[in-house]
A and B are shown apart, each in its own frame.
Chain A
Amino acid sequence: MNKLKDQCGRRGERIFSNLCILPSLAGVLIFFLIPFGIVVYYSMINNPIVHEFVGFDNYKKLFTTVAFQKAAKNTAAFSLVSVPLSVILSMALAVMLERNIPGKSVFRTFFLSPLMVPTASVVLVWQVLFHAHGTINQIIEKFGGTGIDWIKSPHGQIIIVAMFLWKNIGYNMILFMSALAGIPRDILEVAELEGAGKWYQFVHIKLRYLSPTILFVLILSLINSFKIFREVYLLTGDHPFDKLYMLQHFMNNTFNSLDYQKLSSAAVLFSLIMIVIMAILLIAEDIFGKDVEN
Chain B
Amino acid sequence: MAGGVLGEVAAPARSIDWAASLKEAALAAAVALVLFLPLIGMQIVRIEGGTGLQFRLGWVAIGVALVFVGRLLLILLGGRSADLLAAAARPFARLPQLLAPYSLWFGLAGVTFAFVLPFLPFADRYVVDVATTVLIYIMLGWGLNIVVGLAGLLDLGYVAFYAVGAYSYALLAIHFNLGFWECLPLAGLFAASFGVLLGFPVLRLRGDYLAIVTLGFGEIVRIVLLNWYPVTKGPDGLANIPRPTFFGMDFTRNPAEGETAFHEFFGLPYSGLHRVVFLYFLILILALITNAFVQRVRKLPIGRAWEALREDEIACRALGINPTNTKLTAFALGAMFGGFAGSFFATRQGFISPESFTFIESALILAIVVLGGMGSQIGVVLAALVLVLLPELGREFEQFRMLLFGAAMVGIMVWRPRGLLAHREPTIRLHPADAGSSP
Co-assembled chains A and B: no
Using CB atoms and an 8 Å cutoff, list the residues of chain A in contact with chain B: none
